[in-house]
Structure 1
C-alpha cells in the first residue's frame, strides 16, 4: 500500500512538473511573440504638405527620408483628404507609412469654423479666441464642450480616417491654450507666469459654464481661486478626453489607429495645457520632448520618456518620443537623444520637422538605426 501511494505521488509530481514546464514555455512563447511584435524601434518625421509641390518632388523627398532611416511620415495636409490621398501612394511606394496629422482644437483659418464665432473658446477675461487670440495670431481654439464645434472637429477626423492606406489619424493641438508657456519662450513674449493668468485661462464660454454648473452646482466665474478648483480643472481635462475617445471610435471604425502629439508627460501636460493623455483611449502618443524649450539637457529626453511610459504602465498605448531638431547642437546630441528615448521605454522617435533634417542628421539616424 505504501509503495502504491509513493508511485501515485511520483506520477502526480511528474504531471505537475510537465504542466509547469508547458506553462513556462507557453509564457516564454507569448513573451517572445510580443517582443517580436513590439521590438522594432521606429523612426518618423513630421512634415507639412504643399499642394503646389509636384509628385516627382514628393517622391524625391520621401526617398530621402527612407534612405536616411525614416520609417514613417506624419503629414499635415490642412485636413485635406484629397491631398492626403494623393500623397499616400507616393510615400508608400518609397516604403514609408503615413499618418494623417491634424490640428484638432486649434483651427487657424478654418473657413467653416470662422462662420461660427460662438464655437470658439473664451478666456476668463471674457475674450473669445475668435478675435482675441492668446500669444500668437494662429491660436484660434474651438471649444471641446460645445456640440457643434466638437462635431466639426470629429467630422474632419472622419474625413481623414476614410483615406485608404494611412496608418492613423494623428491629433495635434488636442488640448487647451497654454496656461503656462515653456520657460524658454517666456522672454519672447515678455511674460512672467508664476500663477495662472486670466487672459490665458480658457474655456469660460456659456456652454462650458452652464454644463459645469449643472454637474457641480457652482459657477467657475464666481470661484475664489479657479487654479485650485479641481472639479473645474477636471471638467476641462475630461472635455478633451471625450473628443479623443470619440475620435478613437471613428478611427477604429475605419480600421485606422488614433495617435497624437502631446506635451512631454501627463503631469506636465495637465499643468501646462489641460491635457491628461494617460487617461485617453488612444493607440500611441508622440510626446514632444523638446528639451531646449524647457532649458533642459539631453538626458531630460530620457527622463520625460520614462515618466510617460510609467504613467501608461498596464495600458496598450505606446510612446513615441518627439525630438526637436533645431534644439540640438550636434549629431552627437541627436544620437544621444535617440538612445535616451529607447533606453527609457519609447517604441520609436519622431523628428520635428522634415525641413530641419540635414543630410548629416539623416546619416546619423541611419547609423544609429543600424546599431540598434
Structure 2
C-alpha cells in the first residue's frame, strides 16, 4: 500500500471513530422555563448555573413572545454553556393584545361559540384560527421576530394544534367531564373562513354533516391547516438560519385523535413529545412505549425526538432516572423536563448522575 493510500486509510478510520464518539455523547438534556422581565440578570445567571451543574444542556424559554427579553437572556444562558430555544405559545394566544382587537381571528366551536369570549376548559384558552389569513400571519410574524434573535437554536412552537377534543384521562374529573365521544363545545374550528375554505375544496358544509367525527375530509382539513402554519414557520426559521422545533402530544396517532395534530407529517427539525404518563394514568414504562411510537413514525425522516418528562408526575428520583433511560433506549435523542421550577436539587443531582453513565 502506498504511503498516500495508507494516510487516507487512517484518516477515514479516525473520522469514523470521531463520529461514533459524537453519537455516544449527543443525548441532550433540556428544560422548559418561563421568564419574567422583572427578574435581575444575577437571578437568571444563578438559575442557569444551577441547570448547567445539574446536567442540563439547553433551556426552552417562554418570554411571552418578547424578542427584547429573549435578547437579554440569550447571552446570560450561553455564557453558562446552555443553548437557548425561543418557546412560543402559537395558536393559543392568551392575552395577546393585538389579537384581542380582532374577534374574528379566533376559533369557533361546533356550537357556534368563539374562543374570543367563550373559552373551552380554562380562561387562557384563546385559540386563533390557523386558516384565516390575518390570524395565521400574526402568528407567523411573531415567529419571525423570535427567529431574528441572534444566538438562539430554534423557535420552539407550543400549542401548535387545536383545543383538546379529548382531554387526558386524568384531567377529566377536574372538569367533571365524560368524553366518550366528540362533544360540540370542544370541537373547533367552524368559523366562516374555515367553512368557506373547506367548501371550496370538498363542495360540502361540515355543519350539515351527519357525523363530523367520522368525516375524514373535515378532520384532514384541520390537520392540514396546522401543518401549513408549521411548514411556513419552518421556512421563516431557516431563513434566519435557525431550527424549528415543537412541543407536541405523545405520539402522532394520539395527537391526531386528541388535538388535531399530526406532527409526523410536518416540516420540522426536532419535536419534544410531552410524554406525561401521569396525565394518562399510565405507569412509568409508558414513557418508553410512547417514545418508541414516535420514533417509529419518523423512521423515514430526519426529525429528532426529545422525550418530554413531567417532573411533578414522578414518584421518586428512581423514576426520574428510569424515565430518562427509557427515552434513550427507545430512540429519543434527548429529554426535556417540565419545568424548571419543578426541578429540585435532588432531581438535578439525579439528572447529572444519569447523564454521566450515558456518555
Please report the RMSD computed on the Cα atoms of aligned residues, expressed in angstroms. 1.7
1:270 has 2:256 as partner: yes
Equivalent residues in 2 for 1:1-372, closer than 5 Å: 33=19, 36=22, 39-372=25-358
In the TM superposition, what is the alpha-carbon distance from 1:26 to its structure 2 partner? 7.3
Bigger Rg, which one: 1
In the TM superposition, what is the alpha-carbon distance from 1:314 to its structure 2 partner? 1.5
SS at match of 2:271: strand
Report the CA distance shift for 1:311/1:35 in structure 2 as closer, same or farther (over 3 A).
farther
In structure 2, distance between residues paired with 1:287 and 1:234: 21
In structure 1, distance between residues paired with 2:12 and 2:344: 46
Report the CA distance shift for 1:215/1:26 in structure 2 as closer, same or farther (over 3 A).
farther
SS at match of 1:336: helix
Contact kept, 8 Å, 1:99 with 1:168, in 2: the verdict is yes
SS at match of 2:315: coil
C-alpha offsets along residues 212-251 of structure 1, whole Å, 9 cap, x if unaligned?
A: 0010010000000000000000000000000000000000
Report the CA distance shift for 1:204/1:276 in structure 2 as closer, same or farther (over 3 A).
same
In structure 1, distance between residues paired with 2:61 and 2:170: 27
SS at match of 2:155: strand
Residue 18 of structure 1 is matched in structure 2 by none
Contact kept, 8 Å, 1:38 with 1:347, in 2: the verdict is no
In the TM superposition, what is the alpha-carbon distance from 1:116 to its structure 2 partner? 0.2
SS at match of 2:291: helix
Contact kept, 8 Å, 1:49 with 1:76, in 2: the verdict is yes
In the TM superposition, what is the alpha-carbon distance from 1:347 to its structure 2 partner? 0.3
In structure 2, distance between residues paired with 1:309 and 1:26: 30
In structure 1, distance between residues paired with 2:289 and 2:352: 24
TM-score scaled by length of structure 2: 0.95
In structure 2, distance between residues paired with 1:37 and 1:349: 16
Structure 2 gap ranges (5+): 1-7
Structure 1 gap ranges (5+): 1-21
Report the CA distance shift for 1:31/1:289 in structure 2 as closer, same or farther (over 3 A).
farther
Aligned length: 350
Report the CA distance shift for 1:34/1:169 in structure 2 as closer, same or farther (over 3 A).
farther
In structure 2, distance between residues paired with 1:190 and 1:161: 41
In structure 2, distance between residues paired with 1:213 and 1:65: 51
C-alpha offsets along residues 259-282 of structure 1, whole Å, 9 cap, x if unaligned?
A: 000000000000000000000000
In structure 1, distance between residues paired with 2:25 and 2:52: 19
Report the CA distance shift for 1:38/1:229 in structure 2 as closer, same or farther (over 3 A).
farther
In structure 2, distance between residues paired with 1:35 and 1:235: 44
In the TM superposition, what is the alpha-carbon distance from 1:36 to its structure 2 partner? 2.6
